[in-house]
Structure 1
Amino acid sequence: MKILIIHTAFIGDIVLSTPLIKKLKEKYPDSSITYVTTPVGSSILRNNPNLSEIIEYDKRGEHKGLKGLFLLGKRLKYKNFDMIITPHRYLRSSLLTWLTGAPVRVGYDNSSGKLFFNKKVHYDKSKHEVEKLLSFVEDKNDKYYGIELFPGKAEKIRVDEIWSENHLENKKIVAIAPGSKWFTKQWPLEYFNNLIDDLSKRKDTAIILIGGREELLLNIKETDKTINLIGKTSLLEVAEVTRRSHVVLTNDSSPIHIASAWKNTHIIAIFGATVKELGFYPWSKNSQIIENNGLPCRPCGLHGGKKCPKGHFKCMLDLKPAMVLEKIEEKLNQITI
């Protein structure tokens, strides 16, 4: 059986789909599974043993516009897939599903272009995103499927070098991801900087700053206890860094989901404009969320926004650095190196 997954959303969405890949392979052990995603999405899926092929859908380059979409559809049609699963709910992905000509085309019942599917799965807003994705595979199995990422030899060697160069072998590691695409999902930078100052006073702790190139301009504090890897690592290298970290502090952004791949990494997620009920809280059981539960204006959107619609930004400003520091130190003090 030849199965194709089409998912071209944000990095975190792609990471959250890895339990679906695992469940599909368990149900159809003799199948070959191909995954169509963005170039960035393909980089986080590399080395996954349950995938036979990853095909990049470059919306801004080779496959730009309708012509590019139809060219990719033609390529996929030649592969004669038996089943297409399309979690991405946007029209282009729905159309691409139809262009494959596959006999079974499955998507959500609220997708744009749902007419291109001949089988629809209910999009249950009350469920975690992983649970929604797992519903594409019909069975009565209540098994827990974790997020799976596979840093390879090159990524491990690179992170070995970082550990060696910075003498991290006997340190408690706190990885901090200060960035977010959306302003209202980002804890204030001055709060991050105050926290870094306080954590830097600990002799047993090192701080690693992680993030993408788009966060290079963040005015984040650096001390003799910080290692700034923002914009200097691949996504699988970030995954390996979070695997070796004792605590990961992050906004409601993709590092939540990357770090959720590791059961021994404790995740502290700061939620401002968004809430866990939207379905994108840490899938890892070794996690906690810090949020202001007393605000009736939360959530103010699925993805946050460029500014607080109420003008007070209390969802983040009321979460003081001392509160977050207490949670981190509580966890660090439980660790013996």
Structure 2
Amino acid sequence: MQVFVDQSLRPHPHLAVFGSSKVGNYVVITPLLRGLKEKYPDCTLDFFGSDVTQDFELYCPYIDWRFSLYSDRDDILAQLAQVVHQRQQVAGSYDLAINCDEFSPINLVMTTALRPLYVTGAALTQDFQKKLDGGENANSIQSLLQDRDWNSSKLVERHQGVIQSNYIGEIFCRLAYVETDFFKLELPSQEPNFPVPDVLIHVTATRPAKLWPIHAWQQAIHWCMAQGLSVGLVGSAPKIQKTLYNAGSIEDELLQTTALIDLRGQTSLLELAGAFLQTKAFISVDAGPLHIAAAMGCQTIAIFGNDVDGDGASPIHLWKPRQSHVHIAFSTFKCTLCQEHSFSNKSCLVLDHPCMSHLSSQQIIDYLRSLLKKVCQKMV
């Protein structure tokens, strides 16, 4: 197993791409999947993803076969060994494995366990004792991989000539020496079986540090209602929202104090993508649905607890969507504590969560008013 530095692959190469259990991670991987098929038109591309994103994976035109590496099945390890053996019988041994989540222990192990000819992204040595490094094959791409702060505003400067941006979708492509439209996201969709509200919102995230105050959401929702606009709340089923996405009581309170339409758990990912094709606008904190909306061309207001320099609650330089229909709402409060802790802190480290409390509902309302005006003009 060698580090991939764009060596030639055999005809009909067998490729493996490792994702994660997060929706946003899958969405930003789609340029890589497309780019691999453009670079190796005759390849067989296997994708190791999750139960969460399997709907998108199943209908992706660039994936030839997929498996839920992230699953709660009891027999996952036995089944994994069996299906990998079957895939190697079908398409031969793996020529290249690409790890798109270096922080995942199972990705590290499985990327190595496949015994591919080449690997890029994080992997372990063949004895599983330590991280694999480029060694004598180290080059500019490997230097990028070893850089510990991809969110840095200076990343492009540090790796001049290697990357054009520090958008995570581009970085994934660069690791595989793929040239494509790094910002073009592609997702399948299905029409939802309910009338789609004028405005959709998503209020939860896996890190509480990304949450916007409930009173601000209430003010934005009340404004929409005053304009005669229906507003729908999207997300997973309520139990999952509270368990995984820090919903707490915020969603329940919003439903009790506003005319919000509860759509949680009522859509598959395909139907959620379809809803974004129909709604007039979407408002969201930094979470998976934000990236789906970006991919679908939906007019979107992204609530990041970051100031105009990018300092704040989220790794915004790395993860913010680059599409022109996604509008970033910046905070007026500067704080660098999350970045200093490599965003490993779940909750805010400052009293009263100022990065989010200094992002006013009026700012969101002004954005929304402007977006809705554009939507109406297009419909005339």
TM-score relative to the length of structure 1:
0.83
Q: Give the root-mean-square deviation of aligned CA atoms.
A: 2.9
Number of the residue aligned with 2:309: none
Deviation at 1:317, TM superposition (A): 0.9
Q: Which runs of 5+ in 2 are unaligned?
A: 1-12, 156-165, 243-248, 306-311
**For 1:119-145, what per-residue CA distance to the aligned partner results, in whole angstroms no more than 9, with x for missing partners?**
874336131111111113325x46444
Q: Where does 1:172-191 land on structure 2 (aligned, <5 Å)? A: 173-191=198-216
Query: 3-state DSSP class of the match of 1:261?
Result: helix
Separation in 1, partners of 2:302, 2:183:
21
Q: Where does 1:20-169 land on structure 2 (aligned, <5 Å)? A: 20-62=32-74, 68=77, 72-73=80-81, 75-78=83-86, 79=88, 80-89=93-102, 90-108=104-122, 113-115=130-132, 121=142, 122-123=144-145, 125=150, 126=155, 127-138=166-177, 141=179, 143-151=181-189, 155-156=190-191, 159=192, 161-163=193-195
Which one is further off, 36-45 or 310-319? 36-45
Separation in 2, partners of 1:190, 1:38:
35
**For 1:31-58, what per-residue CA distance to the aligned partner results, in whole angstroms no more than 9, with x for missing partners?**
1211001211223323111111111114
8 Å CA contact retained: 2:31, 2:180: no
Q: Choose from 12, 22, 25 the match for 1:13.
A: 25
Which one is further off, 72-81 or 326-335? 72-81
Which one is further off, 21-30 or 271-280? 271-280
Separation in 2, partners of 1:106, 1:25:
17
**For 1:169-228, what per-residue CA distance to the aligned partner results, in whole angstroms no more than 9, with x for missing partners?**
xxxx2211111122110111222122111111113x322211112237622534896432
8 Å CA contact retained: 2:109, 2:123: no
Is 1:290 the counterpart of 2:329? The answer is: yes
**For 1:135-156, what per-residue CA distance to the aligned partner results, in whole angstroms no more than 9, with x for missing partners?**
13325x46444111112xxx32
| Number of residue pairs the alignment of both structures matches | 317
Task: State percent identity of aligned pairs.
Answer: 20
Residues 57 and 292 of structure 1, relative CA distance in 2, 3 Å threshold: same
Deviation at 1:257, TM superposition (A): 0.8
8 Å CA contact retained: 2:283, 2:301: yes
Which one is further off, 93-102 or 277-286? 277-286
Query: 3-state DSSP class of the match of 2:273?
Result: helix
TM-score relative to the length of structure 2:
0.75
Separation in 1, partners of 2:75, 2:272:
28
Q: Which amino acid aligns with 2:132?
A: L
Which one is further off, 48-57 or 1-10? 1-10
8 Å CA contact retained: 1:94, 1:116: no
Number of the residue aligned with 1:244: 278
Bigger strand share: 1
**For 1:7-47, what per-residue CA distance to the aligned partner results, in whole angstroms no more than 9, with x for missing partners?**
22422111111111010011111112110012112233231
Number of the residue aligned with 1:207: 231
Q: Choose from 354, 359, 368 the match for 1:314.
A: 354
Residues 27 and 288 of structure 1, relative CA distance in 2, 3 Å threshold: same
Number of the residue aligned with 2:318: 279
Query: 3-state DSSP class of the match of 1:54?
Result: strand
8 Å CA contact retained: 1:81, 1:102: yes
